[in-house]
A and B are shown apart, each in its own frame.
Chain A
Amino acid sequence: MTATLTPELKNGSAGRTLLPELDRLASRSTMPALLIEDVSKRFVVGRKRKPVTAISHVSMRLERGDIHGILGANGSGKSTLIRLISGLLTLDEGRLEVFGHDIERDEMAVKRLINRVSVDAAFFKKLSPMENLLFAARLYGLDGGKAKRDTLEILARLGISAKRVGRPIEQMSRGMQQKVSIARALLTSPALLLLDEPTTGLDPRSKLDVQSFIEELRSTHDATIVLTTHDLAEAERLCGRITILNDGRVVAEDTPEGLMTLTGKRLGRRATLEDVFMTYTGRSLDDDVDEDEAESED
């Protein structure tokens, strides 16, 4: 849906096909696709309870076309960060910009540029994939006829046949529902796509389908992607850079290779991404944990 893209983006993507590297360099010096600066979020659960710090002073910068991975243990704040970028949670502190639009001041503009796939495929279960996606498309101002054609095309690309799109979604398996959920996000051609564990629960082949689709998206649609996952092979395959969160704080950020080299030096052997994950999210970082507790005291 080019109509919703800002002029800078449209010009940018046209230029990109001619001189990809130059354009990339130019955009690197100007406007990031996503800018997160010193963002924090706390939740108060129940009355008079100590607030839970879900995200603490996180900063991040994504250039257009990046696929940026976020790794971390359960409860480390990955989904909270995705929700903050989606505007589903307000920031307690810090600043967040999507293609130069501030999320607080320019909410509508940001909303037009993003879409999200969450780990649970939330749909009107009695409605068909087509009915659900038509609703989603109209919310983003897409024309009904075009939405129907695109839906069929994207679902076919993800391996869901046309004869299933008219039947209630509750009759589909979880993995198939997840693919429809991915299709819902792609339908609106988001410039920034937020994927919160998109391949969790998919069979190995479907996983590969979705992964190659994500790669294709970046190259053909010029999309910028934030991806959280517990599948380290997936992170290694797709992500240009990876941020590791632990208890809501960034404990490492680098390219997959960079992270592995660094961890390898620490461990004194060749490290895999799993080693990286264990090193940064385990209890081995005692000093970090102490610091965190000291912080939450005051």
Chain B
Amino acid sequence: MTVVAHELKASYAFIERNFFLTRRYWGWELAFLVYSVAGALSISLIGADQGSPTLLLTLMVGAIFWNYLSVVFSWIAETISVERWEGTLEYTMMAPIRRSSQLLGSVLYAMVYGLVHTTVILIALILFFPQVDLSGADPVTAVAFMLLGSFSFVGIGMIAAILPLLYVERGAQMTFVLQSCLLLVSGVYYSVDILPGWMQVLSHLSPATYVLHGVRAGLIDGAPVSAVLGDVWPLIVMGAVLIPFGLWAFGRAERYAKRTGKLKRVG
């Protein structure tokens, strides 16, 4: 058995386990899906109410893509906190696998789950707003930004996943706060230009800002990827920096937790 095959098997272990969890908690999954669809609809209805097709589309894009990014973020960020909650963290940390395989498994599951979840919302919105005209849209741009965005959100998710290793309880709370702040500064439902100056600085640090800007350009203005390169390169840079940094920081955090006895909960 080669090393790579062994590690891919380990990644698959996390994918399969997360799938089992989703299947067992199907009631919650359904409730969460209904909540997300209702949320996306109510926000988009503001656009319909104003009688502005552009506003409607802007809000729809915001609701759908923010949903995708936050779902991906949550699954990755909760990799550790879920296991701490169940008490299985020590067993997983003892297993002969690389952290990168563990995170890769979480990331792949998060992306597939996010895609399924978001597709359901997309279908619901299209059925609800038949007046929306996407004939001039460039879907390639939208997909490209979704993939690029996943890349950098994976990095942020990893860093968020570390927090529960460092702070037994506060970690999960901090993750929650981080996610809310990203929503606030990334121009999900409005242009970041209306934010106060200091918040705009933060907007530039959030990958979601570029994803939403790029997707809107593609779906509303029909811009090809080549027309929005200004939004592409920050995402590539962020992904390329955040993912290796996240892995490195994860290793450091694990070492810290093992030195201070933070992995244990009972026994």
Chain A interfacial positions (CB closer than 8 Å to B): 3-4, 43-44, 79, 83, 86-90, 108, 111-112, 114-116, 118-120, 122-127, 131, 134-136, 138-141, 168, 184, 196-197
B130 at the interface (CB under 8 A from A): no
Interface residues on B, range: 20 to 34
Query: Are A141 and B87 interface neighbours, CB within 8 A?
Result: no
Distance from B127 Cβ to chain A, minimum over Cβ atoms (Å): 33
Q: Is the CB of B261 within 8 A of A43?
A: yes
CA distance A138 to B95 in the complex (A): 10
- B94 contacts A88, CB within 8 Å? yes
Q: How far is the CA of A197 from the CA of B266 in the complex (A)?
A: 13
B169 CB–A CB distance under 8 Å: no
Pairs across A and B, CB under 8 Å, 29 listed: A4-B96, A43-B260, A79-B267, A87-B258, A88-B90, A88-B94, A89-B263, A90-B255, A108-B96, A111-B96, A112-B96, A119-B266, A120-B87, A120-B267, A122-B91, A123-B86, A123-B87, A124-B17, A124-B86, A126-B21, A127-B20, A127-B21, A127-B24, A131-B17, A131-B20, A135-B16, A136-B95, A139-B92, A197-B267
Q: How far is B94's CA from A196's CA once the two chains are assembled, in angstroms?
A: 15
Interface membership of chain B positions 19-43, coded 1 if the CB is closer than 8 angstroms to chain A and 0 otherwise: 0110011000000000000000000
A-B pairs, top 9 by smallest CB distance, nearest first, are A138-B13, A122-B87, A139-B95, A111-B96, A135-B17, A126-B24, A112-B96, A131-B20, A118-B267
Q: Given A44-B260, A131-B17, A135-B17, do A122 and B96 touch, yes or no (CB 8 Å)?
A: no
Please report which residues of chain B, range 81-128, place their CB below 8 angstroms from some CB of chain A when the two chains form the complex: 86-88, 90-97
Hey, which bits of chain B sit against chain A, CB under 8 A?
Answer: 1, 6, 9-10, 12-13, 16-17, 20-21, 24-25, 86-88, 90-97, 255, 258-261, 263-264, 266-267
Does A141 contact B10, Cβ atoms closer than 8 Å? Answer: yes
- A122 vs B84: C-alpha distance in the bound complex, in angstroms? 10
CB-defined contacts of A197 to chain B, threshold 8 Å: 267
Q: Given A88-B94, A88-B263, A138-B13, 5 more contacts at CB 8 Å?
A: A114-B94, A118-B90, A118-B267, A123-B86, A140-B95
Q: Residue among B13, B21, B88, B97 with the most chain A CB within 10 A? A: B13
In whole angstroms, what is the CA distance A112 to B24 when docked?
Answer: 30
